[in-house]
Amino acid sequence: MNPIVRLALEEDIGSGDVTTRACIAESQQAQGRFLAREPLVVAGLGLLPELYELITVHKHDGDRCAAGDVIAEVRGPARLLLERERVALNFLQRLSGVATLGRQFTDAVAGTGCGVLDTRKTTPGLRALEKAAAAAGGVVNHRMGLYDAVLIKNNHITAAGGVRCAIERARSSGLPLEIEVRTREELREALDCGASHLLLDNLTPAEAAEWVRDIGGRAKVELSGGITLENVRAYAESGADFVSCGAITHSARAVDISFRLELE
């Protein structure tokens, strides 16, 4: 069993679901349906086999659902279905919320040629699940952690003694390398060092467009900082290759999914 699922079950059930045990006969069988209660993009369905044995899936991660759509059905002992209901819903509602918000961002930039990236601003312990949910919404996963790509930010530049020193030292890792530049001087130095991926933070859309024109295709450009659903298209139209937004994972609203039980 996925250790995250195991932890969630232990946290919720503890020594036993006292309400269900008191009310429901051990022999009672049942079936349950997971229903979308609002328009959403579903994610997290891969966790259902960790919770139930008999599952019929009507949707797949990344599918759009309308209010009233049946997402999945499960069968088994009524006690098991009831005691795992909240854990299943917590995962589905949270992860579908991330996928839904991710799809809103990707829809907002459609046709601009600009991709949407997620970040490491995730719930501790749930990063892999939340990034998979973001991808289900059409978002491009950025680095998974500190170990699989180099991202030199302002504090790294300060600690390393400058842009050139940071880039030259980081190249020995052999990993993909991106560097944040805050001033025109840092931009020129990064380009002179052959930087192929630049991060521009906290610019306005107009400022971003000016910087992108000056870069002139010499490096990939990612924009971050203050990017919302309301302004993401303006940033995407600056000519940048990517926009990144932490809100997709750290501020997604849990969507409304319900579970309806029927006895057999």
Q: Where are the beta strands (DSSP E) in the chain?
A: 29-36, 40-41, 54-57, 64-65, 70-77, 115-117, 150-152, 177-181, 197-201, 220-224, 242-244, 257-263
User: What pLDDT, on the 0 to 100 scale, is given for residue 37?
Assistant: 98
**H-only helix segments in the chain:** 3-13, 18-23, 48-51, 78-83, 85-108, 127-136, 154-160, 163-170, 184-192, 205-215, 232-236, 247-250
Annotation: CATH topology of 3-102+253-263: Aldehyde Oxidoreductase; domain 3 (3.90.1170)
CA separation for the pair 210, 66 (Å, rounded): 41
59 is catalytic: no
- Helix, strand or coil, per DSSP, at residue 251: coil
Q: Model's pTM, two decimal places?
A: 0.95
51-103 pLDDT tens trace = 999 999 999 999 999 999 999 999 999 999 999 999 999 999 999 999 999 99
Task: Show the tokens assigned to 10.
Answer: 């232990």
Give span(s): CATH 3.90.1170.20, the chain.
3-102+253-263
At 126-150, the pLDDT tens digits run 999 999 999 999 999 999 999 999 9
From the list 201, 210, 237, 256, the catalytic residue is 201
Please give the pLDDT value at position 264. Answer: 85
61 belongs to the catalytic site: no
215-244 tens-digit pLDDT: 999 999 999 999 999 999 999 999 999 999
Q: Determine which one of 37, 64, 75, 121 is catalytic.
A: 121
Q: Which of 17, 83, 118, 180 is catalytic?
A: 180
The Cα–Cα gap between 169 and 111 comes to 38
pLDDT of residue 263: 93
Q: Specify whether 86 is catalytic.
A: yes
| 233: number of Cβ within 10 Å | 18
Residue 247, φ and ψ in degrees, nearest 5: -60, -25
- Contact criterion met (CB below 8 Å) for 93 and 63: no
Choose, from 120, 153, 169, 220, the residue flagged as catalytic: 153
Distance from C-alpha of 211 to C-alpha of 234, rounded to nearest angstrom:
14
Residues of the chain with CATH 3.20.20.70: 108-250
* Single-letter amino acid code for the residue at 218: R
Residue 132 corresponds to which tokens in the numbers above?
Answer: 């998979």
Of the candidates 210, 170, 214, 173, which has an alpha carbon nearest to the alpha carbon of residue 193? Answer: 170
Identify which of 52, 42, 45 has the alpha carbon closest to the alpha carbon of residue 1: 52
Q: Given 37, 64, 75, 86, which residue is catalytic?
A: 86
Homologous superfamily assigned to 108-250? Aldolase class I (3.20.20.70)
Q: Order of strands across the sheet with 257-263? A: 54-57, 70-77, 29-36, 257-263
pLDDT per residue over 169-218, tens digit each? 999 999 999 999 999 999 999 999 999 999 999 999 999 999 999 999 99
- Is 256 designated active site? no
Name the helix (H) or strand (E) containing 42: none
Residue 153 annotated in active site: yes
